[in-house]
Structure 1
Amino acid sequence: MFNRLTNKKKGQREEELPQDHDGLPNSHTPYGLCPRCDKQSSFDILGSLPATFDSGYILSQDGQNKRTLIDQVTSMECRNCHQPVIVIEQEYIGDSPSNKKHSGGLINYRGLFWWPIQGMNPSSDIPEEIQRILQEAKITFSAQCYRASAVMSRRTLEAITVDKGETEGVLAKRIKNLINEGILDKNLGDWATEIRLIGNSGAHFDPINNKEYYGCFYKGMKKGCPLSIVYANTRQFNEQPFHGGPTQFNAITGLNQQEFIILLYHFAPLEEEYYRHHDLKGEARKSVRYDERSDNSLPGSANKLLFMLSYIKENPNQAYHGAVFGMSQGNQFHCGSAYGLGSSRPY
Protein backbone atom coordinates (compact mmCIF):
# COMPACT_ATOMS: atom_id res chain seq x y z
CA MET A 1 0.00 0.00 0.00
CA PHE A 2 2.75 2.41 0.94
CA ASN A 3 5.21 1.68 -1.87
CA ARG A 4 4.19 4.73 -3.87
CA LEU A 5 4.76 7.16 -1.01
CA THR A 6 7.79 9.35 -1.59
CA ASN A 7 8.40 10.51 2.00
CA LYS A 8 9.45 7.50 4.05
CA LYS A 9 11.16 6.78 7.33
CA LYS A 10 13.18 3.77 8.43
CA GLY A 11 12.34 1.13 11.02
CA GLN A 12 14.68 -0.77 13.32
CA ARG A 13 15.66 -3.11 10.49
CA GLU A 14 16.00 -0.30 7.95
CA GLU A 15 12.59 -1.22 6.54
CA GLU A 16 10.60 1.57 4.92
CA LEU A 17 7.70 2.91 6.99
CA PRO A 18 5.15 5.61 6.20
CA GLN A 19 5.61 9.04 7.74
CA ASP A 20 3.48 9.93 10.75
CA HIS A 21 0.32 11.70 9.68
CA ASP A 22 -1.96 13.44 12.20
CA GLY A 23 -4.50 14.41 9.55
CA LEU A 24 -7.34 12.42 8.00
CA PRO A 25 -6.63 9.81 5.30
CA ASN A 26 -7.05 10.05 1.53
CA SER A 27 -5.82 8.20 -1.56
CA HIS A 28 -2.52 10.10 -1.51
CA THR A 29 -1.85 9.30 2.16
CA PRO A 30 -3.90 6.17 3.03
CA TYR A 31 -3.12 6.38 6.73
CA GLY A 32 -3.78 8.80 9.58
CA LEU A 33 -6.57 9.47 12.06
CA CYS A 34 -9.78 7.52 11.50
CA PRO A 35 -12.83 9.82 11.92
CA ARG A 36 -14.91 6.85 13.10
CA CYS A 37 -12.75 5.25 15.83
CA ASP A 38 -10.46 8.27 16.36
CA LYS A 39 -7.38 6.02 16.23
CA GLN A 40 -4.22 6.22 14.13
CA SER A 41 -4.60 3.57 11.45
CA SER A 42 -3.84 2.54 7.88
CA PHE A 43 -6.60 2.15 5.29
CA ASP A 44 -7.48 -0.15 2.41
CA ILE A 45 -8.98 1.60 -0.62
CA LEU A 46 -12.29 -0.08 -1.46
CA GLY A 47 -12.94 1.87 -4.65
CA SER A 48 -13.53 5.27 -6.25
CA LEU A 49 -16.27 6.90 -8.36
CA PRO A 50 -16.30 10.18 -10.31
CA ALA A 51 -17.64 13.23 -8.47
CA THR A 52 -16.86 15.99 -11.00
CA PHE A 53 -15.80 15.62 -14.65
CA ASP A 54 -13.76 18.19 -16.53
CA SER A 55 -13.87 18.65 -20.31
CA GLY A 56 -11.01 16.29 -21.16
CA TYR A 57 -10.75 12.67 -22.30
CA ILE A 58 -8.06 10.04 -22.11
CA LEU A 59 -7.74 6.76 -24.00
CA SER A 60 -8.17 3.85 -21.60
CA GLN A 61 -6.36 0.49 -21.88
CA ASP A 62 -9.39 -1.11 -23.54
CA GLY A 63 -9.39 1.56 -26.28
CA GLN A 64 -12.37 3.50 -24.93
CA ASN A 65 -12.46 7.25 -24.38
CA LYS A 66 -12.60 7.98 -20.67
CA ARG A 67 -13.56 11.35 -19.22
CA THR A 68 -11.03 12.97 -16.93
CA LEU A 69 -11.86 14.06 -13.40
CA ILE A 70 -11.59 17.07 -11.16
CA ASP A 71 -13.02 15.30 -8.07
CA GLN A 72 -13.73 11.73 -7.05
CA VAL A 73 -15.42 9.90 -4.16
CA THR A 74 -13.29 7.24 -2.46
CA SER A 75 -14.31 4.64 0.10
CA MET A 76 -11.52 3.49 2.44
CA GLU A 77 -11.68 0.81 5.14
CA CYS A 78 -9.98 1.48 8.47
CA ARG A 79 -7.80 -1.45 9.53
CA ASN A 80 -8.54 -0.73 13.19
CA CYS A 81 -12.34 -0.50 13.34
CA HIS A 82 -12.94 -2.16 9.94
CA GLN A 83 -15.51 0.46 8.96
CA PRO A 84 -15.54 2.53 5.76
CA VAL A 85 -14.65 6.21 5.59
CA ILE A 86 -15.91 8.26 2.64
CA VAL A 87 -13.64 10.97 1.20
CA ILE A 88 -14.40 13.60 -1.44
CA GLU A 89 -11.05 14.08 -3.16
CA GLN A 90 -9.65 16.65 -5.56
CA GLU A 91 -7.24 15.69 -8.33
CA TYR A 92 -3.73 17.08 -8.04
CA ILE A 93 -0.83 17.19 -10.47
CA GLY A 94 2.21 17.07 -8.25
CA ASP A 95 1.38 19.42 -5.39
CA SER A 96 -1.09 21.63 -7.29
CA PRO A 97 -4.80 21.11 -8.06
CA SER A 98 -5.18 19.83 -11.62
CA ASN A 99 -7.61 22.65 -12.55
CA LYS A 100 -5.05 25.28 -11.47
CA LYS A 101 -1.73 26.28 -12.98
CA HIS A 102 0.88 23.61 -12.32
CA SER A 103 4.33 22.56 -13.47
CA GLY A 104 3.67 18.85 -13.90
CA GLY A 105 4.09 15.82 -11.67
CA LEU A 106 2.33 12.65 -10.65
CA ILE A 107 -1.48 12.51 -10.58
CA ASN A 108 -2.80 12.04 -7.04
CA TYR A 109 -5.99 12.74 -5.10
CA ARG A 110 -6.24 14.64 -1.83
CA GLY A 111 -9.16 14.95 0.55
CA LEU A 112 -11.61 17.86 0.67
CA PHE A 113 -14.41 16.46 2.87
CA TRP A 114 -14.74 13.34 5.01
CA TRP A 115 -17.66 11.28 6.28
CA PRO A 116 -18.34 10.64 9.06
CA ILE A 117 -17.38 13.98 10.58
CA GLN A 118 -14.65 13.55 13.16
CA GLY A 119 -15.38 14.03 16.86
CA MET A 120 -19.19 13.83 16.72
CA ASN A 121 -19.45 11.52 19.76
CA PRO A 122 -18.59 13.74 22.74
CA SER A 123 -18.54 12.47 26.30
CA SER A 124 -21.94 11.82 27.85
CA ASP A 125 -20.74 13.88 30.82
CA ILE A 126 -21.09 17.04 28.71
CA PRO A 127 -24.65 18.47 29.00
CA GLU A 128 -26.77 17.80 25.92
CA GLU A 129 -27.36 21.47 25.13
CA ILE A 130 -23.60 22.12 25.09
CA GLN A 131 -23.06 19.00 22.98
CA ARG A 132 -25.46 20.30 20.33
CA ILE A 133 -23.71 23.66 20.10
CA LEU A 134 -20.29 21.99 19.98
CA GLN A 135 -21.44 19.70 17.16
CA GLU A 136 -22.52 22.73 15.13
CA ALA A 137 -19.03 24.19 15.59
CA LYS A 138 -17.47 20.95 14.34
CA ILE A 139 -19.85 20.55 11.38
CA THR A 140 -19.26 24.10 10.16
CA PHE A 141 -15.50 23.66 10.51
CA SER A 142 -15.62 20.42 8.50
CA ALA A 143 -17.57 22.31 5.82
CA GLN A 144 -14.72 24.88 5.79
CA CYS A 145 -17.01 27.59 7.22
CA TYR A 146 -14.34 28.75 9.62
CA ARG A 147 -15.91 32.02 10.74
CA ALA A 148 -19.21 30.28 11.49
CA SER A 149 -17.29 27.65 13.46
CA ALA A 150 -15.52 30.39 15.44
CA VAL A 151 -18.86 31.96 16.38
CA MET A 152 -20.36 28.61 17.43
CA SER A 153 -17.21 27.85 19.40
CA ARG A 154 -17.65 31.08 21.34
CA ARG A 155 -21.28 30.15 21.94
CA THR A 156 -20.09 26.78 23.31
CA LEU A 157 -17.84 28.62 25.73
CA GLU A 158 -20.65 30.92 26.81
CA ALA A 159 -22.89 27.89 27.43
CA ILE A 160 -20.19 26.38 29.65
CA THR A 161 -20.04 29.51 31.81
CA VAL A 162 -23.83 29.45 32.24
CA ASP A 163 -23.76 25.76 33.15
CA LYS A 164 -21.12 26.52 35.78
CA GLY A 165 -23.27 29.24 37.37
CA GLU A 166 -21.87 32.38 35.71
CA THR A 167 -24.89 34.06 34.10
CA GLU A 168 -24.21 37.76 34.66
CA GLY A 169 -21.84 40.18 32.97
CA VAL A 170 -19.73 39.98 29.82
CA LEU A 171 -18.02 36.73 28.84
CA ALA A 172 -14.55 38.01 29.81
CA LYS A 173 -15.77 38.61 33.36
CA ARG A 174 -17.40 35.17 33.55
CA ILE A 175 -14.17 33.47 32.49
CA LYS A 176 -12.22 35.41 35.12
CA ASN A 177 -14.74 34.38 37.80
CA LEU A 178 -14.42 30.69 36.84
CA ILE A 179 -10.64 30.95 37.16
CA ASN A 180 -10.96 32.60 40.58
CA GLU A 181 -13.39 29.89 41.70
CA GLY A 182 -10.95 27.15 40.65
CA ILE A 183 -13.30 25.67 38.02
CA LEU A 184 -10.81 26.64 35.30
CA ASP A 185 -7.08 26.65 35.92
CA LYS A 186 -4.91 29.33 34.29
CA ASN A 187 -4.19 27.26 31.17
CA LEU A 188 -7.87 26.58 30.54
CA GLY A 189 -8.58 30.24 31.28
CA ASP A 190 -6.09 31.27 28.60
CA TRP A 191 -7.73 28.81 26.21
CA ALA A 192 -11.17 30.26 26.98
CA THR A 193 -9.91 33.80 26.38
CA GLU A 194 -8.54 32.80 22.97
CA ILE A 195 -11.91 31.31 22.03
CA ARG A 196 -13.69 34.47 23.11
CA LEU A 197 -11.42 36.66 20.99
CA ILE A 198 -11.57 34.37 17.93
CA GLY A 199 -15.35 34.18 18.23
CA ASN A 200 -15.57 37.97 18.37
CA SER A 201 -13.42 38.19 15.24
CA GLY A 202 -15.56 35.62 13.43
CA ALA A 203 -18.76 37.53 14.18
CA HIS A 204 -17.50 40.84 12.75
CA PHE A 205 -16.05 41.72 9.39
CA ASP A 206 -12.30 41.43 9.05
CA PRO A 207 -10.01 40.54 6.12
CA ILE A 208 -8.64 37.39 7.74
CA ASN A 209 -9.49 34.20 5.84
CA ASN A 210 -7.17 31.71 7.43
CA LYS A 211 -8.03 28.11 8.28
CA GLU A 212 -5.39 27.83 10.98
CA TYR A 213 -6.52 31.07 12.65
CA TYR A 214 -10.19 30.18 12.84
CA GLY A 215 -9.49 26.49 13.31
CA CYS A 216 -7.35 26.72 16.42
CA PHE A 217 -10.36 26.14 18.66
CA TYR A 218 -11.40 23.06 16.74
CA LYS A 219 -7.88 21.62 16.84
CA GLY A 220 -8.05 21.74 20.61
CA MET A 221 -11.66 20.60 20.76
CA LYS A 222 -11.71 17.79 18.19
CA LYS A 223 -10.76 15.26 20.87
CA GLY A 224 -12.78 17.02 23.55
CA CYS A 225 -9.69 18.23 25.44
CA PRO A 226 -11.02 21.28 27.34
CA LEU A 227 -14.55 19.90 27.73
CA SER A 228 -13.21 16.54 28.93
CA ILE A 229 -11.25 18.36 31.61
CA VAL A 230 -14.22 20.50 32.64
CA TYR A 231 -16.81 17.68 32.62
CA ALA A 232 -15.74 14.07 32.06
CA ASN A 233 -12.48 14.08 34.04
CA THR A 234 -14.06 16.16 36.81
CA ARG A 235 -16.74 13.46 37.13
CA GLN A 236 -14.06 10.77 37.36
CA PHE A 237 -12.24 12.80 40.00
CA ASN A 238 -15.41 12.99 42.08
CA GLU A 239 -15.76 9.19 41.88
CA GLN A 240 -12.31 8.46 43.31
CA PRO A 241 -12.28 7.25 46.95
CA PHE A 242 -10.54 10.16 48.71
CA HIS A 243 -12.79 13.08 49.63
CA GLY A 244 -11.04 14.55 52.63
CA GLY A 245 -10.56 17.99 51.12
CA PRO A 246 -7.77 19.62 49.10
CA THR A 247 -5.15 19.40 51.88
CA GLN A 248 -5.58 15.66 52.33
CA PHE A 249 -5.70 15.03 48.59
CA ASN A 250 -2.48 16.98 48.09
CA ALA A 251 -0.83 15.07 50.93
CA ILE A 252 -1.73 11.74 49.31
CA THR A 253 -0.92 12.56 45.67
CA GLY A 254 1.28 15.67 45.66
CA LEU A 255 -1.23 17.38 43.32
CA ASN A 256 -4.21 19.68 43.68
CA GLN A 257 -7.56 18.87 42.07
CA GLN A 258 -6.98 20.82 38.84
CA GLU A 259 -3.50 19.33 38.37
CA PHE A 260 -4.89 15.84 38.88
CA ILE A 261 -7.75 16.39 36.41
CA ILE A 262 -5.41 17.74 33.71
CA LEU A 263 -3.00 14.82 34.23
CA LEU A 264 -5.99 12.45 34.10
CA TYR A 265 -6.96 13.83 30.67
CA HIS A 266 -3.60 12.72 29.26
CA PHE A 267 -3.41 9.49 31.30
CA ALA A 268 -6.90 8.09 30.61
CA PRO A 269 -6.65 7.36 26.85
CA LEU A 270 -3.22 5.75 27.29
CA GLU A 271 -4.46 3.60 30.15
CA GLU A 272 -7.62 2.59 28.27
CA GLU A 273 -5.64 1.64 25.17
CA TYR A 274 -3.19 -0.41 27.26
CA TYR A 275 -5.93 -2.40 29.01
CA ARG A 276 -7.66 -3.19 25.75
CA HIS A 277 -4.65 -5.39 25.02
CA HIS A 278 -3.42 -6.34 28.53
CA ASP A 279 -5.02 -7.62 31.73
CA LEU A 280 -4.52 -6.23 35.23
CA LYS A 281 -1.41 -8.40 35.63
CA GLY A 282 0.13 -6.81 32.53
CA GLU A 283 -0.19 -9.99 30.48
CA ALA A 284 -1.26 -9.76 26.82
CA ARG A 285 -4.93 -10.54 26.15
CA LYS A 286 -5.87 -13.15 23.57
CA SER A 287 -8.51 -10.77 22.17
CA VAL A 288 -9.12 -7.04 22.46
CA ARG A 289 -11.41 -6.01 25.35
CA TYR A 290 -13.23 -2.68 25.03
CA ASP A 291 -15.09 -2.59 28.37
CA GLU A 292 -13.81 -3.08 31.89
CA ARG A 293 -15.02 -6.05 33.90
CA SER A 294 -17.65 -5.12 36.48
CA ASP A 295 -15.51 -6.68 39.23
CA ASN A 296 -12.31 -4.83 38.27
CA SER A 297 -10.16 -4.21 41.33
CA LEU A 298 -9.38 -0.67 40.12
CA PRO A 299 -12.35 0.54 38.06
CA GLY A 300 -11.86 3.68 36.01
CA SER A 301 -8.84 5.70 34.97
CA ALA A 302 -9.04 8.05 37.97
CA ASN A 303 -8.65 5.18 40.46
CA LYS A 304 -5.70 3.76 38.55
CA LEU A 305 -3.96 7.15 38.42
CA LEU A 306 -4.65 7.70 42.12
CA PHE A 307 -3.23 4.25 42.86
CA MET A 308 0.00 5.14 41.08
CA LEU A 309 0.38 8.64 42.53
CA SER A 310 -0.28 7.56 46.11
CA TYR A 311 2.25 4.75 45.75
CA ILE A 312 4.91 7.09 44.37
CA LYS A 313 4.18 9.71 47.04
CA GLU A 314 3.86 7.50 50.13
CA ASN A 315 5.74 4.25 49.27
CA PRO A 316 3.27 2.12 51.32
CA ASN A 317 3.59 -1.61 51.89
CA GLN A 318 1.42 -3.94 49.82
CA ALA A 319 -1.04 -4.84 52.56
CA TYR A 320 -1.74 -1.22 53.51
CA HIS A 321 -1.91 0.07 49.93
CA GLY A 322 -4.24 -2.78 48.92
CA ALA A 323 -6.52 -2.17 51.91
CA VAL A 324 -6.88 1.53 51.07
CA PHE A 325 -8.15 0.62 47.58
CA GLY A 326 -10.19 -2.39 48.68
CA MET A 327 -7.82 -4.86 46.99
CA SER A 328 -6.17 -8.07 48.06
CA GLN A 329 -2.43 -7.97 48.60
CA GLY A 330 -2.00 -10.18 45.53
CA ASN A 331 -3.95 -7.81 43.29
CA GLN A 332 -1.97 -4.88 44.67
CA PHE A 333 1.24 -6.66 43.72
CA HIS A 334 0.04 -7.42 40.18
CA CYS A 335 -1.21 -3.85 39.64
CA GLY A 336 1.99 -2.36 40.95
CA SER A 337 4.04 -4.61 38.66
CA ALA A 338 1.84 -3.79 35.64
CA TYR A 339 2.30 -0.06 36.25
CA GLY A 340 6.08 -0.41 36.55
CA LEU A 341 6.07 0.67 40.20
CA GLY A 342 8.60 -1.92 41.25
CA SER A 343 8.24 -4.30 44.20
CA SER A 344 6.67 -2.60 47.19
CA ARG A 345 7.19 -3.96 50.69
CA PRO A 346 4.81 -6.88 51.40
CA TYR A 347 4.32 -5.87 55.06
Structure 2
Amino acid sequence: MPPKDVKLRCPYCRHAGVFHPSEQSLDAGWLEQRRRTDGIVENIQCGAGIRICPNPDCRGIILVHVEGGKLVSSLPSELIDFDATALPQAILSSIEEALKCHAAGAYKASALMIRRVLEEVCKDKGATGGNLKDRLSKLSTSIIIPSELLAAADELRILGNDAAHVEAQAYDDIGIDESGLAIDMAKEILKATYQYASLVERLKALKKVAR
Protein backbone atom coordinates (compact mmCIF):
# COMPACT_ATOMS: atom_id res chain seq x y z
CA MET A 1 0.00 0.00 0.00
CA PRO A 2 1.26 3.56 -0.69
CA PRO A 3 2.08 5.76 2.33
CA LYS A 4 -0.87 7.75 3.60
CA ASP A 5 0.94 11.07 3.26
CA VAL A 6 2.78 12.00 0.04
CA LYS A 7 4.92 15.10 -0.44
CA LEU A 8 4.72 16.86 -3.82
CA ARG A 9 4.00 20.16 -5.57
CA CYS A 10 0.38 20.55 -6.62
CA PRO A 11 -0.02 20.67 -10.42
CA TYR A 12 -3.10 22.86 -9.97
CA CYS A 13 -2.09 25.59 -7.49
CA ARG A 14 1.71 24.98 -7.50
CA HIS A 15 1.90 24.89 -3.69
CA ALA A 16 4.24 22.27 -2.20
CA GLY A 17 2.78 20.28 0.66
CA VAL A 18 1.87 16.98 2.24
CA PHE A 19 -1.04 15.36 0.39
CA HIS A 20 -3.43 13.23 2.45
CA PRO A 21 -5.93 10.59 1.31
CA SER A 22 -9.62 11.45 1.34
CA GLU A 23 -12.03 9.45 3.45
CA GLN A 24 -13.28 7.76 0.28
CA SER A 25 -9.80 6.83 -1.02
CA LEU A 26 -9.26 3.15 -1.82
CA ASP A 27 -5.55 2.48 -2.17
CA ALA A 28 -4.23 -0.43 -4.20
CA GLY A 29 -1.03 -2.23 -3.21
CA TRP A 30 1.04 -4.96 -4.84
CA LEU A 31 4.45 -6.60 -4.63
CA GLU A 32 6.80 -6.69 -7.62
CA GLN A 33 9.94 -8.77 -8.06
CA ARG A 34 12.72 -7.06 -9.98
CA ARG A 35 16.17 -8.27 -10.91
CA ARG A 36 19.00 -5.85 -10.35
CA THR A 37 21.97 -5.50 -12.68
CA ASP A 38 24.01 -7.67 -10.31
CA GLY A 39 21.44 -10.47 -10.65
CA ILE A 40 19.90 -10.14 -7.18
CA VAL A 41 16.10 -10.27 -7.14
CA GLU A 42 14.40 -7.64 -4.98
CA ASN A 43 10.83 -7.41 -3.76
CA ILE A 44 9.46 -3.89 -4.34
CA GLN A 45 6.36 -2.77 -2.48
CA CYS A 46 4.24 -0.72 -4.90
CA GLY A 47 0.98 1.12 -4.51
CA ALA A 48 -1.40 3.67 -6.00
CA GLY A 49 -4.12 5.86 -4.61
CA ILE A 50 -5.81 9.24 -4.61
CA ARG A 51 -4.48 12.16 -2.57
CA ILE A 52 -5.92 15.64 -1.94
CA CYS A 53 -4.08 18.97 -2.12
CA PRO A 54 -3.87 20.44 1.41
CA ASN A 55 -4.40 23.99 0.12
CA PRO A 56 -7.99 24.82 1.18
CA ASP A 57 -8.40 27.07 -1.87
CA CYS A 58 -7.45 24.22 -4.19
CA ARG A 59 -8.23 20.74 -2.84
CA GLY A 60 -7.06 19.28 -6.16
CA ILE A 61 -7.31 15.51 -6.63
CA ILE A 62 -4.07 13.70 -7.54
CA LEU A 63 -3.49 10.05 -8.44
CA VAL A 64 -0.13 8.94 -7.03
CA HIS A 65 2.08 5.93 -7.85
CA VAL A 66 4.57 4.93 -5.15
CA GLU A 67 7.33 2.31 -5.18
CA GLY A 68 9.44 1.43 -2.16
CA GLY A 69 7.93 4.32 -0.23
CA LYS A 70 8.98 6.86 -2.87
CA LEU A 71 6.76 8.81 -5.23
CA VAL A 72 7.31 7.60 -8.81
CA SER A 73 4.68 9.59 -10.66
CA SER A 74 1.47 11.51 -10.23
CA LEU A 75 -1.48 12.35 -12.45
CA PRO A 76 -1.70 15.22 -13.24
CA SER A 77 2.09 15.36 -13.23
CA GLU A 78 4.04 17.51 -10.79
CA LEU A 79 5.20 20.71 -12.50
CA ILE A 80 8.48 22.60 -12.36
CA ASP A 81 8.02 25.52 -9.99
CA PHE A 82 8.10 29.10 -11.26
CA ASP A 83 7.19 32.59 -10.09
CA ALA A 84 4.05 33.95 -11.76
CA THR A 85 4.35 37.42 -10.16
CA ALA A 86 3.60 40.33 -12.54
CA LEU A 87 3.55 38.17 -15.69
CA PRO A 88 1.13 39.27 -18.44
CA GLN A 89 -1.70 36.77 -18.87
CA ALA A 90 -0.68 35.64 -22.36
CA ILE A 91 2.87 34.91 -21.21
CA LEU A 92 1.66 33.21 -18.04
CA SER A 93 -0.62 30.97 -20.08
CA SER A 94 2.20 30.02 -22.46
CA ILE A 95 4.73 29.12 -19.79
CA GLU A 96 2.12 27.12 -17.87
CA GLU A 97 1.46 25.12 -21.04
CA ALA A 98 5.21 24.63 -21.53
CA LEU A 99 5.54 23.25 -18.00
CA LYS A 100 2.59 20.91 -18.46
CA CYS A 101 4.09 19.58 -21.69
CA HIS A 102 7.44 19.04 -19.96
CA ALA A 103 5.81 17.21 -17.06
CA ALA A 104 3.97 14.96 -19.51
CA GLY A 105 7.21 14.09 -21.34
CA ALA A 106 6.26 16.12 -24.43
CA TYR A 107 9.65 17.84 -24.56
CA LYS A 108 9.46 19.07 -28.16
CA ALA A 109 6.09 20.68 -27.48
CA SER A 110 7.44 22.18 -24.26
CA ALA A 111 10.44 23.68 -26.05
CA LEU A 112 8.23 25.21 -28.73
CA MET A 113 5.99 26.78 -26.07
CA ILE A 114 9.08 28.25 -24.41
CA ARG A 115 10.03 29.72 -27.80
CA ARG A 116 6.56 31.26 -27.90
CA VAL A 117 7.07 32.67 -24.38
CA LEU A 118 10.28 34.37 -25.50
CA GLU A 119 8.64 35.68 -28.67
CA GLU A 120 5.79 37.13 -26.58
CA VAL A 121 8.22 38.80 -24.16
CA CYS A 122 10.07 40.44 -27.05
CA LYS A 123 6.80 41.61 -28.60
CA ASP A 124 5.53 42.97 -25.28
CA LYS A 125 8.74 44.95 -24.75
CA GLY A 126 9.08 46.11 -28.37
CA ALA A 127 12.33 44.20 -29.00
CA THR A 128 12.71 43.81 -32.77
CA GLY A 129 15.12 41.90 -35.01
CA GLY A 130 15.40 39.49 -37.92
CA ASN A 131 15.10 36.39 -35.73
CA LEU A 132 14.51 35.42 -32.11
CA LYS A 133 18.21 35.61 -31.20
CA ASP A 134 18.36 39.17 -32.53
CA ARG A 135 15.21 40.12 -30.65
CA LEU A 136 16.55 38.68 -27.37
CA SER A 137 19.79 40.60 -27.92
CA LYS A 138 17.74 43.77 -28.38
CA LEU A 139 15.74 42.95 -25.26
CA SER A 140 18.96 42.73 -23.25
CA THR A 141 19.62 46.43 -23.89
CA SER A 142 16.57 47.42 -21.84
CA ILE A 143 16.69 44.84 -19.02
CA ILE A 144 19.48 43.31 -16.98
CA ILE A 145 20.33 39.89 -18.42
CA PRO A 146 23.83 38.47 -17.90
CA SER A 147 25.65 38.49 -21.23
CA GLU A 148 27.01 35.02 -20.42
CA LEU A 149 23.43 33.70 -20.24
CA LEU A 150 22.51 35.00 -23.68
CA ALA A 151 25.79 33.77 -25.16
CA ALA A 152 25.25 30.27 -23.76
CA ALA A 153 21.60 30.35 -24.87
CA ASP A 154 22.84 30.31 -28.48
CA GLU A 155 23.32 26.56 -28.00
CA LEU A 156 19.57 26.05 -27.59
CA ARG A 157 18.06 24.74 -30.79
CA ILE A 158 14.71 26.41 -30.10
CA LEU A 159 16.28 29.79 -30.84
CA GLY A 160 17.16 28.90 -34.43
CA ASN A 161 15.11 30.19 -37.34
CA ASP A 162 13.72 26.76 -38.19
CA ALA A 163 13.25 25.40 -34.65
CA ALA A 164 9.48 25.69 -34.92
CA HIS A 165 9.27 23.40 -37.96
CA VAL A 166 8.33 19.79 -37.25
CA GLU A 167 10.52 18.56 -40.08
CA ALA A 168 13.68 20.22 -38.75
CA GLN A 169 16.35 17.86 -37.42
CA ALA A 170 17.12 20.28 -34.61
CA TYR A 171 13.52 20.01 -33.44
CA ASP A 172 13.58 16.20 -33.56
CA ASP A 173 16.62 16.06 -31.28
CA ILE A 174 15.09 18.09 -28.42
CA GLY A 175 14.76 15.99 -25.27
CA ILE A 176 14.38 16.36 -21.51
CA ASP A 177 17.71 18.13 -20.96
CA GLU A 178 17.26 20.86 -23.56
CA SER A 179 13.60 21.30 -22.65
CA GLY A 180 14.56 21.78 -19.00
CA LEU A 181 17.37 24.19 -19.86
CA ALA A 182 15.04 26.22 -22.08
CA ILE A 183 12.58 26.50 -19.18
CA ASP A 184 15.33 27.60 -16.78
CA MET A 185 16.54 30.24 -19.24
CA ALA A 186 13.00 31.53 -19.81
CA LYS A 187 12.44 31.79 -16.05
CA GLU A 188 15.54 33.98 -15.71
CA ILE A 189 14.45 36.22 -18.60
CA LEU A 190 10.95 36.56 -17.14
CA LYS A 191 12.44 37.42 -13.77
CA ALA A 192 14.67 40.10 -15.27
CA THR A 193 11.91 41.50 -17.50
CA TYR A 194 8.96 41.63 -15.14
CA GLN A 195 9.73 40.59 -11.60
CA TYR A 196 12.72 42.74 -10.67
CA ALA A 197 10.69 45.85 -11.51
CA SER A 198 7.74 44.49 -9.53
CA LEU A 199 9.98 43.85 -6.52
CA VAL A 200 11.43 47.36 -6.72
CA GLU A 201 7.95 48.89 -6.78
CA ARG A 202 6.87 46.81 -3.79
CA LEU A 203 9.97 47.90 -1.85
CA LYS A 204 9.29 51.54 -2.71
CA ALA A 205 5.70 51.14 -1.53
CA LEU A 206 6.95 49.68 1.74
CA LYS A 207 9.20 52.71 2.23
CA LYS A 208 6.24 55.06 1.73
CA VAL A 209 4.18 53.16 4.31
CA ALA A 210 7.07 53.29 6.78
CA ARG A 211 7.10 57.08 6.57
TM-score normalised by length of structure 1: 0.42
Give runs of aligned pairs for residues 1-347 of structure 1, distance below 5 A.
27=3, 30-46=6-22, 47-48=25-26, 72-78=48-54, 81=56, 83-90=58-65, 92=67, 106=68, 110-114=72-76, 122-123=84-85, 125-179=86-140, 181-186=141-146, 190=149, 194=153, 197-199=156-158, 200=160, 204-205=168-169, 208=173, 210-219=175-184, 226-237=189-200, 239=201, 300-304=202-206, 325=208, 327=210
Amino acid at match of 1:139: K
Larger radius of gyration: 1
Shift of 1:155: 1.6
CA deviations on 1:100-140 (whole Å, 9 max, x unpaired) are: xxxxxx576522433686769933x3333323322321221
CA deviations on 1:289-330 (whole Å, 9 max, x unpaired) are: xxxxxxxxxxx34544xx5xxxxxxxxxxxxxxxxx4645xx
Give the direction of change, closer, same or farther, for the CA distance of 1:156–1:44 in structure 2 (3 Å limit).
same
Amino acid at match of 2:118: L
Q: What are the ranges of 5 or more consecutive residues in structure 1 without an aligned counterpart?
A: 1-25, 57-69, 93-105, 240-299, 308-324, 329-347
Bigger CA drift: 162-171 or 194-203?
A: 194-203
Q: What are the ranges of 5 or more consecutive residues in structure 2 without an aligned counterpart?
A: 33-45
Aligned-residue CA RMSD (Å): 4.2
Give the direction of change, closer, same or farther, for the CA distance of 1:28–1:212 in structure 2 (3 Å limit).
farther
Which residue number in structure 2 is paired with residue 315 of structure 1? none
Shift of 1:202: 7.8
| SS at 2:197 equivalent | helix
TM-score normalised by length of structure 2: 0.63
CA distance in 2, matches of 1:192, 1:86: 42
Which residue number in structure 1 is paired with residue 38 of structure 2? none
CA deviations on 1:37-70 (whole Å, 9 max, x unpaired) are: 54443232333456xxx9x9xxxxxxxxxxxxx9
Identity of aligned residues (%): 19
Amino acid at match of 2:95: L
